[in-house]
Structure formats: C-alpha cells, structure tokens
Chain A
Amino acid sequence: EDQVTQSPEALRLQEGESSSLNCSYTVSGLRGLFWYRQDPGKGPEFLFTLYSAGEEKEKERLKATLTKKESFLHITAPKPEDSATYLCAVHPGGYQKVTFGIGTKLQVIP
C-alpha cells in the first residue's frame, strides 16, 4: 500500500528563519510527487511536480527536491504570508489514484 508521511506535523518559524519540510514515501513505482499549499478553509493549491530523483523545482522562497525515498520542501527566509499547510502527494502511475500525506502546518511569526 502506498504511504506518505510528512514531518513535522507543525512548524513555527520566525520571519527570515529558513527550514525544511519532509515528505517520506513508499510507493510501487513513482510516477510523480506533488506539493500543494492549503490555506485554512480553502482548497489546496498546486505548487510543484517532481518526477525523478535529483530533480529540483523552485518558486519564490520555496524549493522542492526529490530523492528515491523522500522529498524536501525548503523554505528560504519565510514571510508571514507563507503560513499555510503544505501537503505532499504521490502518484504511483497506472491506476488513477493519488495518495496524500496529512500535511505540515507552517506558521511564520513576524
């Protein structure tokens, strides 16, 4: 069974304090790993897709990386507006099903 584990469950950072969120996965043949951002009471917003180990994607203060067993979402010099829950998901390919992790709730304090 495909599994996605995100850590930590919650993270509190001071504005400007860089850190990383982790997504560990177990899947039979990874077709894609996805990162989403979700604000309270809203639907998730797609951020990145990573397809193979060694791949990196960047968007503003966010950088996602992928290895064969995990992905990291690095947040450089975060701002309060980066506060949200970040979701990781994997697609094993073939059958149309994506498995989501529970998410990491990030709070950036001014």
Chain B
Amino acid sequence: DGGITQSPKYLFRKEGQNVTLSCEQNLNHDAMYWYRQDPGQGLRLIYYSQIVNDFQKGDIAEGYSVSREKKESFPLTVTSAQKNPTAFYLCASSIGSVKTGELFFGEGSRLTVL
C-alpha cells in the first residue's frame, strides 16, 4: 500500500543532542513537507521541498535542517539550536503545486527533550 512512513514514532533526546527524524514515501509525490504540531496551535510549516535537491524554509525553520537527495526521502534533523524541540512532528507529501493543500500525512514522530 502507498503511504508515508515516519520513524521513530517516539524519540527522547537530551539537551545539546541533534536528532534525525525519518520520512519515506512511496506515493511518487513530488512535494514533501515537515510540520510541527503543538497543543493549542495549528500545524506550523518547518521546511518543504518541491523537487529533489531543492528545499525552502517554512515559518519556523530555525534550529532545523533537511535534505532531499531522493524523491522518496525527506529527513528532518532537529539540532541543538532548536530551543523548544519537544513536539509532535508530521511529514506530509502532495502531488504538486496544483493540489498543495491536499496533503498526505505520516503517522507522526513525538520528540521529547529530557
């Protein structure tokens, strides 16, 4: 079945450590996105990528980094520079610019900083 796979589902990090969240899709979608979800706030865009080897910052990119070396993969690194990293992280994809709002989401990764 086609879909988006995020891993790990739960992750604990000590302060000062970098962590990488994996996102893989087999939907053959061009565009991929990373969102952050916090209680009482709407989904906020961290980074997005329209094509391989190209990505753009979203609204809250500080303290995060991404890469897009393959169409299927869009990993997110949460660096030690991110001051408040505890959150629920969601990866999504879409067919392209025409239907950008029709997003297919993964199951999410919950990051907790100890």
Contact = CB atoms under 8 A, between A and B. Distances in A.
Interface of A: 4, 31-34, 36, 41-46, 49, 87, 89-91, 96-103
B43 A87 contact: yes
Nearest to B45: A97
B29 to A, nearest CB: 13
Contacts of B108: 41-43
Contacts, number: 61
Contact of A44 (B45, B100, B105): B105
Interface of B: 4, 6, 31, 40-45, 48, 50, 56, 58-59, 90, 92, 97, 99-108, 110
Most buried by B among A42, A43, A89, A101: A43
The 7 residue pairs across chains A and B that have the minimum distance between CB atoms: A43-B105, A100-B42, A91-B101, A100-B43, A34-B101, A32-B101, A98-B101
Contacts of B44: 100
Given A99-B42, A103-B42, A46 B102 contact: yes
